[in-house]
Amino acid sequence: MAVESANIVGYYERETTGAYAGFSAGFQKVGGGTTHLSDVIDTSLLGAYASDVMVYDNDDGTFTQWIWDGSAFTDWTDTTDPVLAPGTGYLSMIDADVQVSGEVVNPTTLTFDHVVPAGYSFIGSAFPVALLQSNCNFGTVLAPYGNDIQVYDPDDGSFTQWIWDGTGFTDWTDYLPDTIAQQGEAVLFGNMSGDDQTITEDINPKN
């Protein structure tokens, strides 16, 4: 007898380097509902005061630091760790390889709408896969020179800017490959249109 379920639950291992890197979980909490960072990563692998997460604030362009204190992520005022909506990214420095697990969002359609406000937001795939340009409707949503992607370089702490020119993201010399962010990674996405943009990610097979 076949057993079918609307929920797809899984995990993957995220290797860390001891330096800050863009992080995106690609899962929601099992059972759905509001998902916090500690709902989808195995915190038993983290050392107290050796791991932190930097959450970007679109309103003022600053980062808020959340430190793992051995029992919770805290910003020294609040110990309710950051909400990790599917596709939301952070900068993180974690002192051990991490197991990321949870439930796949929208398993019946395998599509997700990233609603990106004006300004900058950290985004990654809403699924446990790489974020690909070919899986997103950039060509129908973005206007030339109105959006950019900034890829973080953990070696020197800088960002490389790639501008949307109508056909792809370019640094004026090359074009960004199809893979924007690897599984579990995130990039800084800039929306200069002044309005929210809805980027639809569709991971259904294209052939």
CA distance 106 to 7: 9
Structure token digits, residue 182: 């690897």
Among residues of the chain, what percentage have pLDDT more than 70?
94
Cβ-contact 135, 203 below 8 angstroms: yes
**90-133 confidence digits (pLDDT tens):** 888 776 677 888 899 999 999 999 999 999 988 999 999 999 99
Mean pLDDT, all residues of the chain: 86
Q: Is 133 exposed, middle or buried (0-12, 13-18, 19+ CB in 10 A)?
A: middle
1 pLDDT more than 60: no
- Is the pLDDT assigned to residue 2 strictly greater than 80? no
Residue with tokens 């406000």: 117
pLDDT (tens digit per residue) in 36-85: 888 888 888 888 888 888 888 777 778 888 898 999 889 888 877 888 88
Residues 6+ apart with CB under 8 A from 101: 9, 10, 11, 12, 27, 40, 41, 42
pTM: 0.86
**pLDDT surpassing 80 at residue 192:** yes
Position with higher pLDDT, 58 vs 34? 34
CA gyration radius, the chain: 17
Which of the pair, 33 or 171, is modelled with greater confidence?
171
For residue 147, is pLDDT > 80? yes
pLDDT of 203 higher than 90: yes
Helix, strand, coil % in the chain, rounded to nearest 5: 5, 40, 50
Among residues 147, 145, 175, 171, the alpha carbon closest in space to that of 160 is found at: 171
Q: How, if at all, do strands 158-164 and 73-74 pair?
A: unpaired
Kindly state the average pLDDT of the residues 13-23.
Answer: 75
Q: Which of 16-20, 33-37, 168-172 has the lowest mean pLDDT?
A: 16-20
